[in-house]
Amino acid sequence: MRRMRHVLAATAFAALGTLVAFAQAPAGGQAPAGGQGRAGGQPGRGGPQGPASFFITSVGKGDGANYGGIAGADAYCAQMAKAGGLETPAGRTWRAYLSQPASGGQPAVNARDRIGAGPWFNARGQLIANNVADLHGDVQRDRNTINKNFALSEKSAPVNGVGDMPNQHDILTGSDSHGRAVAGDMDTTCSNYTSNADGKGSVMLGHHDRIGGGNSSWNAAHGSRGCSQGNLVATGGAGLLYCFAAN
């Protein structure tokens, strides 16, 4: 009888511990490593989900690097967000992460200056970066979660990377690693995103999965072979864009 009382007491204590642990767990279960974050928090720490304000387009326009200029790329981001059922966060506008050099008397356009102040969350509400400095590692490297696990499409799905068929990790940016127009005289924007022709320039690409390309940069890994759809595919891409909701 005494042994039975000890067994019952131990069982009740274990059940109580389970209830306490359940009560303390975050809503929706345990966040994945590097996952949900709160505005003002750090990637990988628990917290409430934020509204979707970042995604990679699940498909490209299909016309190589020709998006009809940056304005056309912005419109494509908005189109894909709507198709994916993403509501534009209040007071924000969808912008493509693209830079272009000064030309025709117009100043350079820097991607980092046109995507707002942050924070940005993926389609599952997981924190991508708190602000522009964290996104680009201005103060400390690796303060963003742009990688294959968290850089999702507007459909909340992973984007193909190295090891997938086909590999589509090349994302158009036309930017250097700091998010600015690439210095020099070489065309790194396919005529400011208006060309699908080869032999007349290329476009700077980033790797969303952080694999390959020498420096494995999310926004400045290497240039494309050309501006046509075929050559974007040949270098491991599909003409995809990073889209941010700017505030």
CATH of the domain at 140: 3.10.100.10
Domain count, the chain: 1
Q: Is the peptide bond before 43 cis (omega within 30 degrees of 0)?
A: no
pTM: 0.82
Q: Provide the H-helix boundaries in 25-112.
A: 69-83
Helices then strands, counting H and E runs in the chain, come out as: 5, 8
Residue 58 lies in a domain: yes
Alpha-carbon distance values, 21 to 9, 12, 37, 238 (Å): 19, 14, 21, 46
Residue 35 lies in a domain: no
Residue 113 lies in a domain: yes
Residue 85 lies in a domain: yes
Q: Which one, of 138, 14, 185, lies nearest residue 130 by Cα?
A: 138
Q: Tell me: pLDDT of 4 over 60.
A: no
For 17-27, the pLDDT digits (tens) are 433 333 333 33
Task: Give the Cα separation of 180 and 108 in Å (integer).
Answer: 8
List the domain range (segments joined by +) for residue 84. Answer: 51-246
Confidence of residue 48 (pLDDT cuts 50, 70, 90): low
Residue 9 lies in a domain: no
Q: What DSSP character marks residue 126?
A: B
Residue 28 lies in a domain: no
Which pair of tokens denotes residue 118? Answer: 């942050």
Residue 13 lies in a domain: no
